[in-house]
């Protein structure tokens, strides 16, 4: 099928067409080398291949269509932003581009060099004119999680209006009250942008849509507990990454269909690897699309990733919003409660996260944990010490790695990961 020419749309969005062509060429090659080279992939992954191939094309066209009908597009960088409120007003919530080393020269003109790659990436995408999602967004929402992000949003605001939600640092009653205030204020902002009121009816539907998406992702996660796993860690990560920008109803349906196929595989003992392949739990900083470097190295070194303790994984799908609320107030409370449970390393203390990692390692029968943090990410690199100590006490082998989005350290990482897998195999 001939590829449609989206250049007029990209031009209208103000993208840097030459740079964008280069980006797509690099991404297309990386996807082919990393994803399409895998063997025995489930058929259901064809949908994800299609979504990725049209991430800057058809999906953006869909967003432009919905905008023409008066619906709003809201761009986010963090799983703290309550998608339910955006869905309630007929809006679309999209995760913004932040997973590639692109536009870095532009980013370093306004940010210190020793800034985490995720932050440099979103700034670079904007400054270099390469992210159609931010261009299509009616509002960008930041949040006061780590210091790097909150200061970067002040700068981003000079280029695109950025609304910032205050995220508490602790989880006391006082913090919950602060967060409740933020959720209510965000609700008002969403209503103002959309020119529509949030009602119990539309919020109930928004909660259901977001929960259904999480339920599909939870089902996928449960199926990966099987030995052998019916899907690679790379493919499962891709599903979790695409969850941030695909149409939620279509995505949920497609992932449920993928899970039906995986269920058959599990029943028939079919996996993507042999039974004795070392099972790895990845934990730490989120991997935004197209950050596939570490799982690719792990899975081409003879192991399989069976779960991700990260925001592109369990941390954003584990908890649902309670669906039994009758009034608008009940539903807001349920949203506040659900989001307060997120165990981002930006919180102190953050013992829940340590417990979750231990539980996941046990439930998924992980042979080892790889704790990954993006270079210069202070919250996750600091917390790695406690994670490692807690896992050591349980006799779970742990490898701590730090990296950015570049490929310069790929060889060195492979050597370390292979040595770790040797040790895990005993
Ligand atoms: S809830 S993990 S999505 S903040 S990697 S920018 S923390 S220096 S991305 Fe995150 Fe929300 Fe937390 Fe999740 Fe800062 Fe670390 Fe960079 Fe990070």
Secondary structure element (H or E) that encloses residue 219, with its range? helix 200-223
Q: Residue 424 to residues 231, 279, 366: CA-CA distances in angstroms?
A: 21, 9, 10
Write down the pLDDT at residue 426.
84
Distance CA 210, CA 48 (A): 19
pLDDT in tens, 414-423: 999 999 999 9
Domain span at residue 112? 7-425
pLDDT in tens, 244-292: 999 999 999 999 999 999 999 999 999 999 999 999 999 999 999 999 9
The alpha carbon of 146 and the centre of ligand 1 are apart by a number of angstroms equal to 7
Does residue 94 lie within any of the structural domains?
yes
Q: Which two tokens mark 391?
A: 């896992």
Write down the pLDDT at residue 2.
59
The structural domain count of the chain equals: 1
Does residue 342 lie within any of the structural domains?
yes
Confirm or reject: Cβ of 350 under 6 Å from ligand 1.
no
Is 299 in contact with 238 (CB distance < 8 Å)?
Answer: no
Residue nearest ligand 1's atom 7 by CA: 146
Is 207 in contact with 331 (CB distance < 8 Å)?
Answer: yes
Confirm or reject: Cβ of 119 under 6 Å from ligand 1.
yes
Q: Residue 158 to residues 123, 127, 136, 152: CA-CA distances in angstroms?
A: 11, 11, 17, 10
Over the Cα atoms of the chain, what is R_g? 21
The alpha carbon of 297 and the centre of ligand 1 are apart by a number of angstroms equal to 22
Write down the pLDDT at residue 3.
74
Does residue 292 lie within any of the structural domains?
yes
Confirm or reject: Cβ of 377 under 6 Å from ligand 1.
yes
For residue 342, the ligand 1 atom closest to its alpha carbon is 1
The alpha carbon of 310 and the centre of ligand 1 are apart by a number of angstroms equal to 10
Residues of the chain with pLDDT under 70: 1-2
Does residue 1 lie within any of the structural domains?
no
Distance CA 18, CA 142 (A): 28
Confirm or reject: Cβ of 141 under 6 Å from ligand 1.
no
Q: Which two tokens mark 289?
A: 């699309």
Does residue 21 lie within any of the structural domains?
yes
Does residue 2 lie within any of the structural domains?
no
Distance CA 153, CA 24 (A): 26
Classified as helix, coil or strand, 275 is coil
| Helix-then-strand count for the chain, H and E | 19, 8
- 141: closest CA among 180, 189, 203? 189
pTM of the predicted structure, to 2 decimals: 0.97
Long-range contacts at 223-227 (CB < 8 A, ≥ 24 apart):
223/259, 223/262, 223/263, 223/266, 224/306, 224/307, 224/364, 225/306, 225/363, 225/364, 225/365, 226/266, 226/271, 227/271, 227/275, 227/279, 227/365
Does residue 131 lie within any of the structural domains?
yes
Does residue 362 lie within any of the structural domains?
yes
Percentage of residues in the chain with pLDDT exceeding 70? 100
Write down the pLDDT at residue 298.
98
């Amino acid at each position: 099928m001939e590829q449609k020419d989206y250049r007029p749309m990209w031009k209208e969005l103000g993208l840097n067409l030459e740079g964008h062509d280069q980006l797509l060429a690099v991404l297309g090659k990386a996807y082919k080398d990393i994803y399409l080279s895998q063997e025995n992939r489930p058929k259901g992954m064809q949908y994800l291949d299609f979504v990725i191939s049209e991430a800057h094309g058809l999906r953006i066209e869909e967003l432009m269509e919905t905008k023409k009908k008066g619906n709003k597009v809201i761009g986010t960088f963090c799983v703290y932003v309550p998608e339910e409120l955006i869905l309630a007003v007929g809006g679309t919530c999209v995760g913004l581009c932040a997973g590639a080393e692109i536009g870095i020269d532009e980013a370093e003109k306004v940010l210190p060099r020793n800034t985490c790659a995720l932050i440099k990436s979103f700034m670079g995408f904007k400054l270099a004119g390469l992210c159609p999602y931010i261009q299509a967004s009616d509002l960008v929402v930041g949040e006061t999680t780590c210091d790097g992000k909150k200061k970067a949003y002040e700068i981003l605001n000079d280029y695109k209006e950025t609304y910032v939600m205050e995220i508490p640092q602790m989880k006391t009653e006082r913090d919950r009250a602060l967060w409740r205030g933020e959720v209510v204020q965000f609700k008002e902002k969403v209503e103002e942008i959309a020119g529509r009121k949030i009602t119990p009816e539309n919020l109930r539907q928004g909660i259901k849509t977001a929960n259904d998406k999480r339920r599909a992702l939870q089902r996928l996660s449960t199926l990966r507990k099987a030995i052998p796993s019916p899907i690679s860690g790379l493919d499962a990560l891709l599903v979790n990454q695409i969850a941030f920008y695909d149409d939620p109803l279509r995505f949920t349906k497609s992932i449920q269909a993928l899970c039906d196929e995986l269920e058959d595989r599990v029943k028939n003992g079919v996996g993507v690897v042999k039974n004795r392949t070392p099972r790895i739990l990845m934990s730490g900083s989120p991997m935004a699309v197209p950050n596939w470097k570490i799982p690719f190295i792990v899975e081409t070194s003879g192991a399989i990733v069976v779960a991700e303790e990260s925001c592109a994984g369990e941390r954003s799908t584990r908890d649902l919003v309670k669906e039994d609320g009758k009034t608008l107030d009940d539903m807001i409370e349920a949203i506040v409660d659900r989001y307060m449970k997120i165990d981002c390393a930006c919180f102190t203390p953050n013992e829940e996260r340590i417990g979750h990692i231990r539980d996941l390692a046990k439930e998924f029968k992980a042979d080892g944990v790889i704790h990954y943090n993006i270079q210069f990410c202070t919250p996750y690199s600091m917390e790695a010490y406690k994670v490692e100590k807690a896992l050591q006490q349980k006799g779970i082998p742990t490898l701590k790695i730090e990296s950015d989005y570049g490929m310069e350290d790929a060889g060195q990482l492979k050597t370390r990961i292979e040595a770790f897998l040797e040790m895990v195999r005993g």
